[in-house]
Chains A and B, each alone.
Chain A
Amino acid sequence: MSPSSAPVSEVPAYNPRNYLNSPATGLRSWLTTRDHKRIGVMFLVATTFFFAVGGLFAMLIRIELLTPGPTIVDAMTYNRLFTLHGVVMIFLFMIPAIPSGFGNFLLPIMLGARDVAFPRLNLLSFYVYLLGATIALWGMIHGGADTGWTFYTPYSTQTVTKVVPILLGAFILGFSSILTGLNFIVTTHTLRAPGMTWTRMPLFIWSIYATSVIQILATPVLGMTLLLVAIENAFGWGIFDPARGGDPVLFQHFFWFYSHPAVYIMVLPAMAVISEVVCTFSHKNIFGYNAVAYSSLGIAFVGFFTWGHHLFTSGQSAFDAGIFGVLSMFVGIFTAIKVFNWTATLYKGSISFKTPFAYFVGFLFFLVFGGMTGIALATVSLDVHWQDTYFVVAHFHFIMVGATIMAFLAALHYWFPKITGRTYPEGWGLVGATLVILGFNFTFIPQFLLGNEGMPRRYYAYPERFWPLNVASTAGASVLAFGLVLILVYLLVSLRSGPVAGPNPWHSRGFEWFVPSPPPPENWEVTPVITHPPHDYHHAGEAPPGGVEPEPRHAS
């Protein structure tokens, strides 16, 4: 289609027939929908809710740690709080948020498909998520668990708290994750538009694809492991109980065989988002497409052979520890490949410093800083000193949580116009980004220092010499929480009264920006034929057939 055949003015700014209002608008039509976009939006709403719940637990933890002794809750409640914070944030927010939320919404559009391969399984995935979340929530309300989110045996098999429903909840949530991953892999293999070769796929899809592979291969093992702990706790079958000949360390192996790759289930989707954001906001195609694409698969592959670095102090032989340490550092190599290519993309780009770009900058900082402390922790002799201290807590909050939240917020702002058809206030967006990035740093940099001085994680009380840094951390967490609430408020206001965005407010060349905003139920009017890679700013002015005409590249 040439630019003259469809002038820009013919494209309505707010698509009147979109997935939000057709085929119907009632609650029933949402609950029985098979439209991947609606399912994605429902996942986004649910995961955002649990993000708030997990954040509430985090604030209670930080307030409790404001003073060295008891502050607002007793020790048992504190143990429950940090367990529930971890469980909610990991299983209910970070694992599903980007793949099941944004991935669902965007993957078929980016591939030029009408839907995912198995729309009914996709809806089932959402209900399985709700079921798992409900069971876990029931357990939390009726007592909660005090084991930490890692459920380490033998404590988790003996605790009197309600650990069984939470284990079952996590077990069920795993199936939601498996269903989504399976759907994405099959969709990517079978529903690419004509001309969409593997190396023309948006990098978002490469990373989501790598995530899906991990979800499929690691989650069943975790499911079985959690089930074994639940059986052990409820019936005493002895699998992990040393009193009956069981081996608690076997649990650690099983658990981390999933849960270390699970870190990449959380981080790879973040990298997926960042690869899109960096192209759009520097108006330049990615530097080193193949390197970024294959490094995602590299991380997914190596991620399966690093779990032993969680067991450096669990009686693992020094030889094994050394091997696992070196393998863990390979992840750093693949991550560095991405970081160098993202930064090289900026070079000579036409950068517009919008809110998503601010989160990209924050993401780079957390990823590099968190990643480097990860290399340090993979060094066995150093890890023995830092094991189970706040250094580890700060490390994984930087790399896993920091990076994921940055990407989640970047995605929320970047695709907000596509999902809702409206824009958010850019000024408030930058204020929110500043508060969140600064707040996050002020929360966790003190924790690096605390850990290095030897403060153990999960302790209810601490010596007075750790007091000032804990106050600093709580102050940082308050800024972070304030920033997040601010973002929630202006996004909710923008939902109703934000200015209409138009199909492509960022002047992006990503494929999803060629469909109207909000997209129609069938995504593309006719199946597009892809003739060039995504984010090909050399071909500005051309759109794949079936898409709307992109606006001319802005002049600045």
Chain B
Amino acid sequence: MQASPLAHHFESLEKQAHAARLGMWLFLATEVLLFTALFAAYGVYRFLYPEGFAQSSRSIETWIGFVNTLVLVTSSFTVAMGLDAAVKGNGRRTALLFAASVGLALVFLGFKAIEYAHHFQEGQLPGRYYTFEGVQAPGASLYFSLYFLITGLHAIHVIIGMSALAIVGALAWRGRFTGEYHIPVELAGLYWHLVDLVWIFVFPLIYLI
């Protein structure tokens, strides 16, 4: 057995879990604000260049975004199921469900990589690298600056979240968590849901409107 998960400065495991959960929610708030700056910039430039943004949005493949949305929502579902298994003390099941989520995250990144490769071929690139012939309306290069910033930052979050799920899943497989103590499972899940939630906003902004 490993040492007790209760740190010396907390009086009970319950209080420690409460602190960890509160800390995670605050951290998620900072993450939301990080993206908010980019969404605000998107809003301002969409207002300034409605035509350029609309045409650029139509020039990228909506179906990839749609499939990726389905993939991410499904991965959130398996994470939620994994937490449910952890609450019931079934670490192995948690590990398998988290592994499925990591697999789905890899599928998401795969599609994203195909999409990025396509943009590089077409010259749909940010700022001074923009050489795409398809859309000439003003603001198109700004659209792709924001496109790469937002989806790039989101992809970094996918990689971080996926690593967290993998680590926590491995620990769950080794039986580190119990029905009473499974706070890392919960926190990794919370983070993954945020990654999913951000994409729920990215998808309509980038692909649909």
Which of these, B29, B41, B126, contacts A216 with CB under 8 Å? Answer: B29
Residue-wise, chain B 138-156 has the 8 Å CB interface mask toward A (1 for contact) of 1101100110110000000
Residue-wise, chain A 204-244 has the 8 Å CB interface mask toward B (1 for contact) of 00000000000011011101110010011001111101001
9-residue interface stretch from B20-28, B85-93, B103-111, B162-170:
B20-28
Cβ of B125 to closest chain A Cβ, rounded Å: 9
With a cutoff of 8 Å between Cβ atoms, the chain A residues found around residue B51 in the complex are: none
With a cutoff of 8 Å between Cβ atoms, the chain B residues found around residue A121 in the complex are: 23
Cβ of A261 to closest chain B Cβ, rounded Å: 12
With a cutoff of 8 Å between Cβ atoms, the chain B residues found around residue A190 in the complex are: 10, 15, 18-19, 22
Residue-wise, chain B 100-124 has the 8 Å CB interface mask toward A (1 for contact) of 0000000000000000000000000
9-residue interface stretch from A41-49, A54-62, A111-119, A376-384:
A111-119
With a cutoff of 8 Å between Cβ atoms, the chain B residues found around residue A236 in the complex are: 127-128
With a cutoff of 8 Å between Cβ atoms, the chain B residues found around residue A237 in the complex are: 126-128, 145, 148-149
Cβ of A95 to closest chain B Cβ, rounded Å: 16
Total number of A-B contacts with CB less than 8 angstroms? 111
**Given contacts A238-B126, A245-B141, A250-B41, is CB(A186)–CB(B19) below 8 Å?**
yes
With a cutoff of 8 Å between Cβ atoms, the chain B residues found around residue A119 in the complex are: 7, 9
**Given contacts A113-B9, A238-B128, is CB(A245)–CB(B34) below 8 Å?**
no
Which of these, B15, B27, B36, B127, contacts A241 with CB under 8 Å? Answer: B127
The residues in B between 30 and 80 inclusive whose CB is less than 8 angstroms from any CB of A are 30-31, 33-34, 36-38, 40-41, 44-45, 48-49, 52
With a cutoff of 8 Å between Cβ atoms, the chain B residues found around residue A216 in the complex are: 26, 29-30
With a cutoff of 8 Å between Cβ atoms, the chain A residues found around residue B29 in the complex are: 216-217
Report yes or no: B19 in contact with A117, Cβ–Cβ below 8 A: yes
Report yes or no: B30 in contact with A178, Cβ–Cβ below 8 A: yes
Interface check A75, CB cutoff 8 A: no
Which of these, B18, B31, B33, B127, contacts A244 with CB under 8 Å? Answer: B127
Cβ of B32 to closest chain A Cβ, rounded Å: 8
Complex CA distance for A114 and B10, rounded to whole angstroms: 8
**Given contacts A182-B23, A182-B27, A191-B19, is CB(A245)–CB(B44) below 8 Å?**
no
Interface centre among B9, B139, B141 (most CB of A within 10 A): B9
Residue-wise, chain A 166-189 has the 8 Å CB interface mask toward B (1 for contact) of 000000000000100011011101
Helix, strand, loop or mixed for chain A's interface? helix
Nearest CB in chain B to that of A118: its residue: B23
Cβ of B172 to closest chain A Cβ, rounded Å: 21
Complex CA distance for A239 and B148, rounded to whole angstroms: 12
Residue-wise, chain B 1-19 has the 8 Å CB interface mask toward A (1 for contact) of 0000001111100010011
Complex CA distance for A185 and B24, rounded to whole angstroms: 12
Report yes or no: A220 in contact with B33, Cβ–Cβ below 8 A: yes
Complex CA distance for A217 and B28, rounded to whole angstroms: 11
With a cutoff of 8 Å between Cβ atoms, the chain A residues found around residue B10 in the complex are: 190-191
Interface check A12, CB cutoff 8 A: no
Report yes or no: A191 in contact with B9, Cβ–Cβ below 8 A: yes
Complex CA distance for A115 and B145, rounded to whole angstroms: 44
With a cutoff of 8 Å between Cβ atoms, the chain A residues found around residue B49 in the complex are: 245
Complex CA distance for A190 and B129, rounded to whole angstroms: 51
Nearest CB in chain B to that of A213: its residue: B26
With a cutoff of 8 Å between Cβ atoms, the chain A residues found around residue B139 in the complex are: 245
Report yes or no: A238 in contact with B141, Cβ–Cβ below 8 A: yes
Cβ of A78 to closest chain B Cβ, rounded Å: 32
Report yes or no: A254 in contact with B37, Cβ–Cβ below 8 A: yes
With a cutoff of 8 Å between Cβ atoms, the chain A residues found around residue B26 in the complex are: 182, 185-186, 216
**Given contacts A117-B19, A182-B23, is CB(A239)–CB(B41) below 8 Å?**
yes
Q: What size tier do the contact residues of chain A reach?
A: 35 or more
Interface centre among A228, A237, A247 (most CB of B within 10 A): A237
Report yes or no: B128 in contact with A220, Cβ–Cβ below 8 A: no
Nearest CB in chain B to that of A250: its residue: B44
Complex CA distance for A509 and B142, rounded to whole angstroms: 59
Residue-wise, chain A 93-110 has the 8 Å CB interface mask toward B (1 for contact) of 000000000000000000
Complex CA distance for A244 and B140, rounded to whole angstroms: 10
Complex CA distance for A269 and B87, rounded to whole angstroms: 41
With a cutoff of 8 Å between Cβ atoms, the chain B residues found around residue A115 in the complex are: 8-9
With a cutoff of 8 Å between Cβ atoms, the chain A residues found around residue B127 in the complex are: 232, 235-239, 241, 244
Cβ of A174 to closest chain B Cβ, rounded Å: 10
Interface check A246, CB cutoff 8 A: yes
Cβ of B148 to closest chain A Cβ, rounded Å: 8
Nearest CB in chain A to that of B148: its residue: A237
Complex CA distance for A182 and B20, rounded to whole angstroms: 11
Nearest CB in chain A to that of B153: its residue: A224
With a cutoff of 8 Å between Cβ atoms, the chain B residues found around residue A182 in the complex are: 23, 26-27, 30
Complex CA distance for A216 and B169, rounded to whole angstroms: 29
Cβ of A453 to closest chain B Cβ, rounded Å: 38
Cβ of B170 to closest chain A Cβ, rounded Å: 20
Report yes or no: B15 in contact with A114, Cβ–Cβ below 8 A: no
Complex CA distance for A117 and B26, rounded to whole angstroms: 13
Which of these, A114, A220, A221, A244, contacts B142 with CB under 8 Å? Answer: A244
Cβ of A179 to closest chain B Cβ, rounded Å: 9
**Given contacts A220-B31, A237-B126, is CB(A189)–CB(B22) below 8 Å?**
yes
The residues in A between 269 and 315 inclusive whose CB is less than 8 angstroms from any CB of B are none
With a cutoff of 8 Å between Cβ atoms, the chain B residues found around residue A187 in the complex are: 19
Report yes or no: A246 in contact with B142, Cβ–Cβ below 8 A: yes
Complex CA distance for A244 and B149, rounded to whole angstroms: 16
Complex CA distance for A187 and B7, rounded to whole angstroms: 14
Complex CA distance for A302 and B141, rounded to whole angstroms: 37
Cβ of B195 to closest chain A Cβ, rounded Å: 16
Complex CA distance for A244 and B143, rounded to whole angstroms: 11
With a cutoff of 8 Å between Cβ atoms, the chain A residues found around residue B27 in the complex are: 182
Complex CA distance for A117 and B30, rounded to whole angstroms: 18
Report yes or no: A224 in contact with B38, Cβ–Cβ below 8 A: yes
Report yes or no: A244 in contact with B141, Cβ–Cβ below 8 A: yes
With a cutoff of 8 Å between Cβ atoms, the chain A residues found around residue B141 in the complex are: 238, 244-245
Complex CA distance for A393 and B18, rounded to whole angstroms: 45
Report yes or no: A114 in contact with B22, Cβ–Cβ below 8 A: no
Known: A216-B26, A216-B29. 15 other contacts (CB 8 A): A114-B8, A115-B9, A119-B7, A119-B9, A186-B19, A190-B10, A237-B127, A237-B148, A238-B127, A245-B52, A245-B138, A245-B142, A250-B41, A250-B44, A254-B41
- Interface pairs A-B: 6 shortest CB-CB: A238-B127, A237-B127, A114-B9, A224-B37, A220-B33, A236-B128
Q: List the interface of chain A (C-beta within 8 A of B).
A: 113-115, 117-119, 121, 178, 182-183, 185-187, 189-191, 216-217, 219-221, 223-225, 228, 231-232, 235-239, 241, 244-247, 250, 254, 527
Ordered by A's residue number, 19 sampled pairs between the chains whose C-beta atoms are within 8 Å are A117-B23, A183-B23, A185-B22, A186-B19, A186-B22, A190-B10, A191-B9, A221-B33, A221-B36, A232-B127, A235-B126, A236-B127, A239-B149, A245-B45, A245-B48, A246-B45, A247-B44, A247-B48, A250-B44
